[in-house]
Protein backbone atom coordinates (compact mmCIF):
# COMPACT_ATOMS: atom_id res chain seq x y z
CA UNK A 1 0.00 0.00 0.00
CA UNK A 2 1.26 3.48 -0.85
CA UNK A 3 0.62 6.24 1.69
CA UNK A 4 0.37 9.78 0.37
CA UNK A 5 1.41 12.67 2.62
CA UNK A 6 -0.49 15.97 2.50
CA UNK A 7 0.50 17.95 -0.57
CA UNK A 8 0.56 21.58 -1.56
CA UNK A 9 -2.73 23.01 -2.74
CA UNK A 10 -3.18 24.35 -6.23
CA UNK A 11 -3.47 28.11 -5.84
CA UNK A 12 -5.26 30.85 -7.67
CA UNK A 13 -3.09 33.88 -6.98
CA UNK A 14 -2.89 37.41 -8.25
CA UNK A 15 -1.57 40.84 -7.36
CA UNK A 16 -3.28 44.20 -7.74
CA UNK A 17 -1.26 47.35 -8.39
CA UNK A 18 -3.19 50.60 -8.01
CA UNK A 19 -6.36 48.57 -8.52
CA UNK A 20 -5.23 46.75 -11.70
CA UNK A 21 -5.07 42.95 -11.51
CA UNK A 22 -1.73 41.30 -12.35
CA UNK A 23 -1.32 37.51 -12.69
CA UNK A 24 1.76 36.11 -10.95
CA UNK A 25 4.01 33.10 -11.50
CA UNK A 26 4.84 32.99 -7.79
CA UNK A 27 4.09 34.99 -4.68
CA UNK A 28 5.20 34.81 -1.06
CA UNK A 29 3.50 36.81 1.70
CA UNK A 30 5.06 36.92 5.18
CA UNK A 31 2.61 37.83 7.94
CA UNK A 32 4.46 38.69 11.11
CA UNK A 33 3.55 39.20 14.75
CA UNK A 34 6.95 40.78 15.29
CA UNK A 35 7.75 44.48 15.06
CA UNK A 36 8.68 44.45 11.37
CA UNK A 37 5.20 44.10 9.87
CA UNK A 38 4.04 42.12 6.81
CA UNK A 39 5.78 41.91 3.44
CA UNK A 40 5.41 40.27 0.03
CA UNK A 41 7.51 39.12 -2.91
CA UNK A 42 6.09 38.17 -6.29
CA UNK A 43 7.29 37.27 -9.77
CA UNK A 44 5.43 38.02 -12.99
CA UNK A 45 6.04 38.48 -16.69
CA UNK A 46 6.92 41.96 -17.94
CA UNK A 47 4.04 41.66 -20.38
CA UNK A 48 1.58 41.14 -17.48
CA UNK A 49 1.96 44.71 -16.21
CA UNK A 50 -1.03 46.83 -17.33
CA UNK A 51 -0.23 49.16 -20.23
CA UNK A 52 -1.20 52.26 -18.26
CA UNK A 53 1.16 51.52 -15.36
CA UNK A 54 4.85 52.29 -15.95
CA UNK A 55 6.71 50.81 -12.98
CA UNK A 56 9.96 52.43 -14.12
CA UNK A 57 8.57 55.91 -13.35
CA UNK A 58 5.47 55.53 -11.14
CA UNK A 59 5.65 56.03 -7.37
CA UNK A 60 3.25 55.53 -4.45
CA UNK A 61 1.83 52.29 -5.82
CA UNK A 62 -0.71 50.43 -3.68
CA UNK A 63 -0.31 46.64 -3.72
CA UNK A 64 -2.61 43.84 -2.58
CA UNK A 65 -2.13 40.07 -2.76
CA UNK A 66 -5.01 37.60 -3.19
CA UNK A 67 -4.88 33.83 -2.74
CA UNK A 68 -7.92 31.75 -3.72
CA UNK A 69 -10.03 34.89 -3.60
CA UNK A 70 -8.91 35.98 -0.10
CA UNK A 71 -6.88 39.15 0.37
CA UNK A 72 -3.87 38.31 2.53
CA UNK A 73 -1.74 41.43 2.04
CA UNK A 74 -2.44 45.15 1.80
CA UNK A 75 0.44 47.57 1.42
CA UNK A 76 2.73 49.41 -0.96
CA UNK A 77 5.23 48.44 -3.63
CA UNK A 78 8.83 49.09 -2.56
CA UNK A 79 11.07 47.51 -5.22
CA UNK A 80 10.97 46.08 -8.73
CA UNK A 81 13.85 44.01 -10.12
CA UNK A 82 13.96 43.42 -13.87
CA UNK A 83 15.33 40.21 -15.43
CA UNK A 84 15.68 41.04 -19.12
CA UNK A 85 16.89 37.59 -20.19
CA UNK A 86 13.70 36.02 -18.80
CA UNK A 87 11.44 39.05 -19.44
CA UNK A 88 10.24 38.84 -15.83
CA UNK A 89 9.89 41.26 -12.94
CA UNK A 90 10.29 40.54 -9.24
CA UNK A 91 8.21 42.84 -7.05
CA UNK A 92 8.41 43.35 -3.30
CA UNK A 93 6.71 45.56 -0.76
CA UNK A 94 5.69 46.17 2.83
CA UNK A 95 2.34 46.61 4.51
CA UNK A 96 0.86 50.04 5.11
CA UNK A 97 2.48 50.15 8.52
CA UNK A 98 5.70 50.95 6.66
CA UNK A 99 4.55 54.59 6.70
CA UNK A 100 5.00 54.55 10.49
CA UNK A 101 8.49 53.10 10.11
CA UNK A 102 9.53 55.68 7.52
CA UNK A 103 8.05 58.75 9.25
CA UNK A 104 10.44 60.40 11.72
CA UNK A 105 9.21 62.55 14.57
CA UNK A 106 10.58 64.99 17.15
CA UNK A 107 7.26 65.39 18.92
CA UNK A 108 6.78 65.95 22.65
CA UNK A 109 3.93 64.05 24.27
CA UNK A 110 2.40 66.35 26.84
CA UNK A 111 -0.46 65.04 29.00
CA UNK A 112 -1.33 62.20 26.64
CA UNK A 113 -1.88 58.55 27.34
CA UNK A 114 0.04 56.00 25.23
CA UNK A 115 -3.23 54.85 23.67
CA UNK A 116 -3.89 58.37 22.38
CA UNK A 117 -0.45 58.57 20.79
CA UNK A 118 -0.82 55.19 19.05
CA UNK A 119 -4.29 56.14 17.79
CA UNK A 120 -3.06 59.48 16.41
CA UNK A 121 -0.15 57.89 14.56
CA UNK A 122 -2.37 55.19 13.05
CA UNK A 123 -4.95 57.72 11.87
CA UNK A 124 -2.29 59.89 10.23
CA UNK A 125 -1.56 57.05 7.80
CA UNK A 126 -5.07 55.69 7.29
CA UNK A 127 -4.39 52.61 9.43
CA UNK A 128 -6.81 50.84 11.71
CA UNK A 129 -5.87 50.56 15.38
CA UNK A 130 -6.74 47.76 17.82
CA UNK A 131 -5.72 49.19 21.19
CA UNK A 132 -6.04 48.03 24.78
CA UNK A 133 -5.80 50.49 27.66
CA UNK A 134 -2.75 49.60 29.76
CA UNK A 135 -4.17 48.28 33.00
CA UNK A 136 -1.76 50.32 35.10
CA UNK A 137 -2.90 53.55 33.43
CA UNK A 138 -6.68 53.13 33.27
CA UNK A 139 -8.17 56.62 33.73
CA UNK A 140 -4.77 58.22 34.29
CA UNK A 141 -2.61 60.60 32.30
CA UNK A 142 1.06 60.21 31.65
CA UNK A 143 3.24 60.79 34.67
CA UNK A 144 5.22 64.04 34.53
CA UNK A 145 8.47 62.31 33.64
CA UNK A 146 6.98 60.31 30.78
CA UNK A 147 5.14 63.40 29.48
CA UNK A 148 8.52 64.92 28.69
CA UNK A 149 9.56 62.12 26.33
CA UNK A 150 10.78 63.55 23.04
CA UNK A 151 11.44 60.96 20.38
CA UNK A 152 13.58 61.69 17.37
CA UNK A 153 13.26 58.29 15.76
CA UNK A 154 10.42 56.91 13.65
CA UNK A 155 6.81 56.89 14.75
CA UNK A 156 6.98 53.11 14.89
CA UNK A 157 10.00 53.19 17.22
CA UNK A 158 8.02 55.57 19.44
CA UNK A 159 5.15 53.07 19.63
CA UNK A 160 7.63 50.31 20.47
CA UNK A 161 9.12 52.45 23.24
CA UNK A 162 5.65 53.00 24.68
CA UNK A 163 4.97 49.26 24.53
CA UNK A 164 8.20 48.55 26.41
CA UNK A 165 7.47 51.19 29.06
CA UNK A 166 3.96 49.92 29.75
CA UNK A 167 4.43 46.18 29.28
CA UNK A 168 2.31 46.04 26.11
CA UNK A 169 2.65 43.96 22.95
CA UNK A 170 2.75 45.93 19.68
CA UNK A 171 2.85 44.77 16.07
CA UNK A 172 1.38 45.54 12.65
CA UNK A 173 -0.40 43.06 10.42
CA UNK A 174 -3.21 43.37 7.90
CA UNK A 175 -3.08 47.21 7.82
CA UNK A 176 -3.90 47.32 11.54
CA UNK A 177 -1.70 48.57 14.38
CA UNK A 178 -2.07 46.38 17.48
CA UNK A 179 -1.22 47.71 20.95
CA UNK A 180 -2.38 44.94 23.27
CA UNK A 181 -2.20 43.74 26.84
CA UNK A 182 -0.36 40.43 27.29
CA UNK A 183 -1.22 37.64 27.04
CA UNK A 184 -3.53 38.45 24.15
CA UNK A 185 -6.64 36.29 23.68
CA UNK A 186 -6.42 34.70 20.22
CA UNK A 187 -8.08 31.79 18.35
CA UNK A 188 -6.29 28.44 18.22
CA UNK A 189 -5.13 26.55 15.11
CA UNK A 190 -5.01 22.75 15.68
CA UNK A 191 -2.27 20.54 14.20
CA UNK A 192 -1.96 16.78 14.78
CA UNK A 193 1.28 14.86 14.27
CA UNK A 194 1.10 11.34 12.83
CA UNK A 195 4.26 9.24 12.71
CA UNK A 196 5.31 8.44 9.11
CA UNK A 197 4.33 6.59 7.05
CA UNK A 198 0.84 6.46 8.56
CA UNK A 199 -1.74 8.81 7.01
CA UNK A 200 -3.82 11.32 8.91
CA UNK A 201 -1.45 14.19 9.69
CA UNK A 202 -2.43 17.66 8.54
CA UNK A 203 1.18 18.78 8.12
CA UNK A 204 3.82 18.25 5.44
CA UNK A 205 6.93 18.87 7.56
CA UNK A 206 7.63 19.31 11.26
CA UNK A 207 10.90 20.31 12.95
CA UNK A 208 11.16 21.44 16.57
CA UNK A 209 13.89 22.72 18.87
CA UNK A 210 14.51 23.14 22.61
CA UNK A 211 16.74 25.73 24.29
CA UNK A 212 18.05 23.77 27.27
CA UNK A 213 19.43 26.88 28.99
CA UNK A 214 15.90 28.23 29.36
CA UNK A 215 14.90 25.03 31.11
CA UNK A 216 16.73 26.40 34.14
CA UNK A 217 15.07 28.58 36.80
CA UNK A 218 14.74 32.11 35.37
CA UNK A 219 14.64 35.34 37.37
CA UNK A 220 13.87 38.78 35.92
CA UNK A 221 14.63 41.90 38.00
CA UNK A 222 13.48 45.39 37.03
CA UNK A 223 14.54 48.55 38.89
CA UNK A 224 13.47 52.14 38.26
CA UNK A 225 14.36 55.42 39.93
CA UNK A 226 11.50 57.94 39.86
CA UNK A 227 13.17 61.30 40.45
CA UNK A 228 9.98 63.30 40.97
CA UNK A 229 8.69 60.88 43.60
CA UNK A 230 12.26 60.45 44.94
CA UNK A 231 11.67 56.72 45.15
CA UNK A 232 13.16 53.58 43.65
CA UNK A 233 10.68 50.96 42.48
CA UNK A 234 11.68 47.33 42.02
CA UNK A 235 10.13 43.97 41.32
CA UNK A 236 11.17 40.40 40.60
CA UNK A 237 9.52 37.67 38.54
CA UNK A 238 10.62 34.03 38.76
CA UNK A 239 9.83 30.76 37.05
CA UNK A 240 10.89 27.26 38.02
CA UNK A 241 13.29 24.87 36.32
CA UNK A 242 16.29 22.64 36.98
CA UNK A 243 19.93 23.66 37.36
CA UNK A 244 21.73 26.94 37.99
CA UNK A 245 19.38 29.96 37.76
CA UNK A 246 19.50 32.47 34.92
CA UNK A 247 19.16 36.07 36.12
CA UNK A 248 18.23 39.05 33.91
CA UNK A 249 18.50 42.60 35.29
CA UNK A 250 16.94 45.74 33.78
CA UNK A 251 17.29 49.36 34.96
CA UNK A 252 14.72 51.72 33.39
CA UNK A 253 14.30 55.26 34.80
CA UNK A 254 11.08 57.15 35.49
CA UNK A 255 8.57 54.33 36.04
CA UNK A 256 5.97 53.78 38.72
CA UNK A 257 5.57 50.53 40.64
CA UNK A 258 2.70 49.42 38.38
CA UNK A 259 4.80 50.05 35.27
CA UNK A 260 7.80 48.24 36.77
CA UNK A 261 5.62 45.19 37.41
CA UNK A 262 4.13 45.16 33.91
CA UNK A 263 7.52 45.57 32.24
CA UNK A 264 8.99 42.77 34.38
CA UNK A 265 6.13 40.42 33.48
CA UNK A 266 6.51 41.17 29.77
CA UNK A 267 10.30 40.80 29.67
CA UNK A 268 10.16 37.60 31.69
CA UNK A 269 7.51 36.08 29.44
CA UNK A 270 9.48 37.09 26.33
CA UNK A 271 12.56 35.31 27.68
CA UNK A 272 11.02 32.00 28.72
CA UNK A 273 8.83 31.85 25.60
CA UNK A 274 11.91 30.81 23.58
CA UNK A 275 12.46 27.48 25.35
CA UNK A 276 10.42 25.40 22.88
CA UNK A 277 10.25 26.35 19.20
CA UNK A 278 8.70 25.00 16.03
CA UNK A 279 11.45 25.83 13.57
CA UNK A 280 10.25 24.04 10.45
CA UNK A 281 6.53 23.58 9.93
CA UNK A 282 4.86 23.29 6.54
CA UNK A 283 1.17 22.63 5.90
CA UNK A 284 -0.97 22.70 2.76
CA UNK A 285 -1.83 26.34 2.06
CA UNK A 286 -4.57 27.88 4.17
CA UNK A 287 -5.49 31.46 3.32
CA UNK A 288 -7.52 31.76 6.56
CA UNK A 289 -4.38 31.36 8.70
CA UNK A 290 -2.44 34.42 9.88
CA UNK A 291 -0.12 35.48 12.68
CA UNK A 292 -3.02 36.33 15.01
CA UNK A 293 -3.54 32.68 16.01
CA UNK A 294 -2.17 30.41 18.68
CA UNK A 295 -1.11 26.94 17.53
CA UNK A 296 -1.88 23.72 19.39
CA UNK A 297 0.37 20.75 18.53
CA UNK A 298 -0.65 17.24 19.61
CA UNK A 299 0.38 13.57 19.36
CA UNK A 300 4.20 13.80 19.27
CA UNK A 301 4.14 12.15 22.69
CA UNK A 302 6.67 14.67 24.02
CA UNK A 303 6.80 18.05 25.79
CA UNK A 304 6.39 19.61 22.35
CA UNK A 305 2.68 18.77 22.60
CA UNK A 306 1.55 22.17 23.85
CA UNK A 307 0.24 25.55 22.78
CA UNK A 308 2.53 27.97 20.90
CA UNK A 309 2.60 31.64 19.99
CA UNK A 310 2.72 32.02 16.21
CA UNK A 311 5.47 34.46 15.31
CA UNK A 312 5.27 34.31 11.54
CA UNK A 313 3.20 32.76 8.76
CA UNK A 314 4.60 32.57 5.25
CA UNK A 315 2.13 31.98 2.41
CA UNK A 316 4.14 30.63 -0.54
CA UNK A 317 2.34 29.94 -3.83
CA UNK A 318 3.60 29.26 -7.34
CA UNK A 319 2.46 27.73 -10.59
CA UNK A 320 4.96 24.87 -10.26
CA UNK A 321 5.16 24.32 -6.51
CA UNK A 322 1.55 24.82 -5.43
CA UNK A 323 0.50 26.61 -2.25
CA UNK A 324 1.99 25.88 1.17
CA UNK A 325 2.18 27.70 4.50
CA UNK A 326 5.34 27.84 6.61
CA UNK A 327 4.81 28.64 10.28
CA UNK A 328 7.25 29.74 12.99
CA UNK A 329 6.26 29.36 16.68
CA UNK A 330 7.64 29.60 20.21
CA UNK A 331 6.52 28.83 23.77
CA UNK A 332 7.80 28.26 27.29
CA UNK A 333 8.60 24.74 28.43
CA UNK A 334 5.61 22.55 29.14
CA UNK A 335 4.81 22.64 32.83
CA UNK A 336 7.10 25.61 33.54
CA UNK A 337 5.50 27.66 36.32
CA UNK A 338 5.94 31.16 37.70
CA UNK A 339 6.99 31.30 41.35
Class of residue 113 by CB neighbours under 10 A (exposed 0-12, middle 13-18, buried 19+): buried
79 occurs within a structural domain: yes
Residue 144 pLDDT exceeds 50:
no
What does the pLDDT average to over 261-275?
Answer: 91
163 occurs within a structural domain: yes
pLDDT range class, residue 96, cuts 50, 70, 90 = confident
What total of structural domains would you count in the chain? Answer: 4
User: Does residue 149 sit in the same domain as residue 208?
Assistant: no
pLDDT range class, residue 157, cuts 50, 70, 90 = confident
User: Does residue 301 sit in the same domain as residue 199?
Assistant: yes
Rounded CA separation 153/148 (Å): 15
| pLDDT at site 110 | 62
User: Does residue 198 sit in the same domain as residue 280?
Assistant: yes
Predicted confidence (pLDDT) per residue in 119-138, tens digit: 999 998 889 999 998 765 54
Alpha helices in the chain (DSSP H): 98-102, 114-124, 144-147, 155-166, 257-272
| pLDDT at site 198 | 64
What pTM, to 2 d.p., does this model score? 0.87
Please give the residue range of the domain that contains residue 249: 222-265
What does the pLDDT average to over 259-278?
Answer: 91
Domain CATH number, residue 45: 2.30.300.10
Amino acid sequence: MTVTAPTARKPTAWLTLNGSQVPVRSVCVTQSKTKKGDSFKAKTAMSAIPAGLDLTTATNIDAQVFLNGAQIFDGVLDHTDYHWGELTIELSGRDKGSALMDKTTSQKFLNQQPTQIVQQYAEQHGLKADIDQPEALAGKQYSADLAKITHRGSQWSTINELADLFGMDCYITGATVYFKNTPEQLPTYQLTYVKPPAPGSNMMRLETSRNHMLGRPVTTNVHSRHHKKKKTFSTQVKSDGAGEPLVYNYVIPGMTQDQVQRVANKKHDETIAHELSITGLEIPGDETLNARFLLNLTDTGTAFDTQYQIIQVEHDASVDGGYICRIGCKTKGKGKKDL
